[in-house]
Structures are given as structure tokens and as C-alpha cells.
């Protein structure tokens, strides 16, 4: 069912992210990156610690045991040795809403319960308007986690903030606490055709199923990361607005280009939303300057996003 471009993006990510890790940690720790398909004489690209891309013989890369395979993988601990970050390039966003579409399809949510919204922003009278995708910022000091009375929403070592909707008591304190207002509550029985309601989901794949009386939000797609894929929105964006990657590897990719995270943030004056609040988000925004796409105004309203259809069939 997956189209080709997505496949190639996926394998690219696989290599770039995993090879990236090789460069880090002083080249001592490498990761399992050579799959059975690698043959003698093949070269692979490696990102060194200072950000250079090198081609090396695939045989030179040792297959070592990655720490998370030796430990029992734990949903609440996350992927060991990783710290995921996202960069959103506002200069490229043209409100194509493909991210919203795919998010809804994959997570079986629909408007107005969107976990990912594209806001029409205008910072002050004189500045120009721009589109801004908004979703959970996966804060490193998440206000939502601090206030949760039952540990239903939790922060993992890999930076992801998730919700266990089998635990959530529906007090909505996390929603009051989150300064970014990205949390969604299931006020009634969620409409999710094709999803078994008595099925017990995992916090790593939000929306399968959504549970009445509990909170939902963007989960950073750990189910995709586990398969070596990019989060759905990142893969779907036609203009490559989203970059996803690993802070420790200092690499982010939007599926087309892979760049050094620190350099990108430095060069493009990346910022985080409401830095002053001290929530320390994992999502960075690049200011909407030197636009790559024109801002085409549209009457941004509920009507415009309402079109996103209710998904009818189960994938997989």
C-alpha cells in the first residue's frame, strides 16, 4: 500500500539516522546498521562527529549489539540512547495540510479533534502572516507530566511524551497545564470506524483506539520510528517542512535532505515556542524568513480543515 517515494525515504532515513549514530560517541559505539542486504564492495555513507559525510566500505562497519536489544524494551523508558527532536521550517509551510491528513488517517482521529493543526499566525501588525504547524512539543520539562496525578502521561528517556489511555482518569489537569494547548479530550465515544473498541492499544500508537474520557495528543510516532520510518507528518509533507532526527546524533532529516541539527538551528536562528516558560520543548521552529513558498492567504477557518475525512478502513 505504501508508495515508492515513501519507501525510498524510509530506507534513506534508516541509513542516515543509524549511520549517524556511528559518528557520534567517538566512533566507539556503532549500531546495527548493516542488514543482510549489504554486500562486499558496497559503500555506505557515514556522518562524522563534526558533520562531514564520509563513504566507507560496508565491511568496515561492525555489527554490534545495540543496547536496547539486550535490555527488555520498555514503553515507558523508550529507545535507549536516543533523544528525538523535530525542526519545523516555517519558511516552507504553505498550509498544504497533507500532514494533517496523514496524521488523521494513521491515528484515526478527525477534525476537530486534530492533534496537528496548522495555525495562521501574524505576530504583530507590521509583520507578515505565516502558517505554523502546531502539535505536542514533547517538552523536556513537560508541564503536563508534572501535574498528572496517576502517571498516565509520562516522559521517556528518548524525549517522547506519551499518554497511557488505559491509565488516564480524565481529570484534564494536563490540558490546563500545557501552555501550548495541544491536548485533545475524548468527550464522547470516539468515532473510529474499523477500530476495535475493546482492543488494548499501546501508548506508542495513539488513537488505536482512542478511549472515551481520556486525553490524546501527538505521540511523535514511536511506532514509525521503531520501524525506521519517519513520523507520518514528516514523510507526508510535500515541501519538506518537517525535519526529524536525533539530538545525540545531531542529525535531522525531512526525508529529502539530511542536515546537521546544530548547524541548522544556528544558521537559521531556530527558536522554540515560549522559551521563557521553561518547558524546554523538543520542537524547534525556523523563522518564516526568505520564504521558499509564498504566503497564500486563505480564510483559515474550521470549514477549511473539516474536509479531512473520517478514516474508514483499518490499515495493515
Partner 1 sequence: MSTREQIIKKLAPKEFNTLGVIWVALLSIVSLAGIIAYIDQIRRGLEVTNLRDYAIWGVYISNFVFFVATSFVGAFTASILRLSQKKWRTPLVRIAEMVAVAAIAMAGVAIILDMGRPDRIPYLFMYPRLQSPIAWDIIIITIYLAFSVMLLYIPNIPDFAILKTFYKDKPFLSKVYGFLAINWTGSAKQIKIHQKSIKVIAVSMIPLALILQSVDAWLFSTTYRIGWDSTNLGPYFISGALVAGIGALITAIYMVRRFNHLEEFITDKHFDKLGRLLVFACLVYLYFNMNEYLIPAFKSTQGEAEHLQELFFGQYSLMFWFAIGGGLILPSILLMFRKMRKPFPMFIIAILVVVTSWWKRYIIVSPALLHPFMPIQGVPEEWSHYFPSLHEWLITGGTLALCILIITIFVRFIPVVPIQRTLDEMEITATENDKN
Query: Which residues contribute to the site for partner 1 (CB under 8 A)?
Result: 111-114, 117-121, 134, 143, 146-152, 167-173, 175-177, 179-181, 183-189, 212-214, 274, 277, 300, 302, 305
Identity of the residue, 51 or 213, whose beta carbon is nearer to ligand SF4 in the bound complex:
213
Smaller CB separation from ligand SF4, 7 or 280:
280
- Residue 114 binds: one of ligand SF4, partner 1, none (C-beta under 5 to 8 A by kind): partner 1
Within 13 Å of residue 235, how many CA atoms lie on the same side as its CB? 24
Least spacing, CB of residue 158 vs partner 1, in Å? 21
> Is 114 an interacting residue with respect to ligand SF4 (CB under 6 A)?
no
Which does residue 12 touch among partner 1, ligand SF4, none (CB within 5 to 8 A, set by kind)? none
Residue 7 CB, shortest distance to ligand SF4, in Å, is 30
- The residue range among 26-34, 104-112, 139-147, 191-199 that interacts with ligand SF4, by the rule CB under 6 A, is 139-147
d(CA 110, CA 119): 17
The residue (of 154 and 261) whose beta carbon lies closer to partner 1 is 154
User: Distance from CA of residue 199 to its chain's centroid?
Assistant: 25
Collapsed DSSP state (helix, strand, coil) of residue 267:
helix
Residue 69, Cβ neighbours under 10 Å: how many? 10
Query: Which residues are CB-neighbours of 299 under 8 A, at least 6 positions away?
Result: none
Q: Minimum distance from CB of 211 to ligand SF4 (Å)?
A: 10
Q: Which pairing describes strands 283-286 and 84-89: parallel, antiparallel, or unpaired? A: parallel
Q: Which residue has the cell 525515504?
A: 9
State how far the Cα of 285 lies from the Cα of 34, in Å rounded to an integer.
33
Give the strand pairing for 161-163 and 53-57.
unpaired
Three-state DSSP at 11 gives helix
13 in contact with ligand SF4 (CB under 6 A): no
**What part of residues 57-86 is at the interface with ligand SF4 (CB under 6 A)?**
none
Toward partner 1, which CB reaches closer, 53 or 273?
Answer: 273
Considering the complex, what minimum distance in angstroms separates the CB of residue 139 from ligand SF4? 3
Category of 93 on φ-ψ map: left (φ > 0), alpha (ψ -120 to 50) or beta: beta
C-alpha cell at 89: 521550517
Which residues bind to ligand SF4, rule: CB under 6 A?
A: 136-139, 142-144, 147-148, 150, 152-153, 161, 163, 168-174, 178, 180, 182-183, 214-215, 217, 279
Amino acid at each position: 500500500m505504501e508508495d515508492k517515494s515513501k519507501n525510498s525515504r524510509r530506507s534513506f532515513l534508516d541509513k542516515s539516522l543509524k549511520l549517524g549514530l556511528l559518528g557520534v560517541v567517538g566512533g566507539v559505539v556503532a549500531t546495527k546498521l548493516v542488514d543482510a542486504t549489504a554486500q562486499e564492495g558496497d559503500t555506505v555513507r557515514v556522518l562524522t562527529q563534526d558533520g562531514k559525510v564520509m563513504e566507507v566500505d560496508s565491511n568496515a562497519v561492525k555489527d554490534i549489539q545495540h543496547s536496547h536489544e539486550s535490555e527488555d524494551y520498555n514503553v515507558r523508558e523508550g529507545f535507549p540512547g536516543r533523544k528525538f527532536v523535530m525542526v519545523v521550517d516555517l519558511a516552507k509551510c504553505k498550509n498544504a495540510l497533507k500532514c494533517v491528513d496523514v496524521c488523521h488517517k494513521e491515528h484515526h482521529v478527525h477534525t476537530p479533534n486534530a492533534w496537528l493543526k496548522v495555525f495562521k499566525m501574524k505576530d504583530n501588525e507590521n509583520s507578515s502572516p505565516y502558517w505554523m504547524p502546531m502539535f505536542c512539543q514533547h517538552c523536556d520539562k513537560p508541564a503536563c507530566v508534572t501535574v498528572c496525578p496517576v502517571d498516565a502521561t509520562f516522559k521517556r528517556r528518548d524525549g517522547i511524551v506519551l499518554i497511557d489511555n488505559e491509565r488516564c482518569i480524565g481529570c484534564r489537569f494536563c490540558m490546563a497545564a500545557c501552555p501550548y494547548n495541544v491536548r485533545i479530550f475524548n468527550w464522547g465515544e470516539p468515532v473510529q470506524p474499523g477500530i476495535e473498541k475493546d482492543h488494548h492499544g499501546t501508548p506508542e500508537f495513539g488513537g488505536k483506539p482512542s478511549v472515551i474520557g481520556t486525553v490524546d495528543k501527538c505521540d511523535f510516532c514511536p511506532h514509525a520510528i521503531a520501524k525506521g520510518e519517519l513520523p507520518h507528518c514528516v514523510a507526508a509533507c510535500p515541501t519538506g517542512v518537517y525535519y526529524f532526527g536525533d539530538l545525540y546524533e545531531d542529525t535531522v532529516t525531512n526525508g529529502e535532505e539530511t542536515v546537521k541539527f546544530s548547524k541548522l538551528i544556528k544558521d537559521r536562528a531556530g527558536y522554540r515556542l515560549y522559551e521563557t516558560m521553561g518547558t524546554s520543548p523538543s520542537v524547534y521552529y525556523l523563522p518564516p524568513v526568505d520564504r521558499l513558498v509564498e504566503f497564500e492567504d486563505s480564510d483559515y477557518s474550521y470549514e477549511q480543515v473539516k474536509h479531512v475525512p473520517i478514516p474508514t478502513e483499518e490499515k495493515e
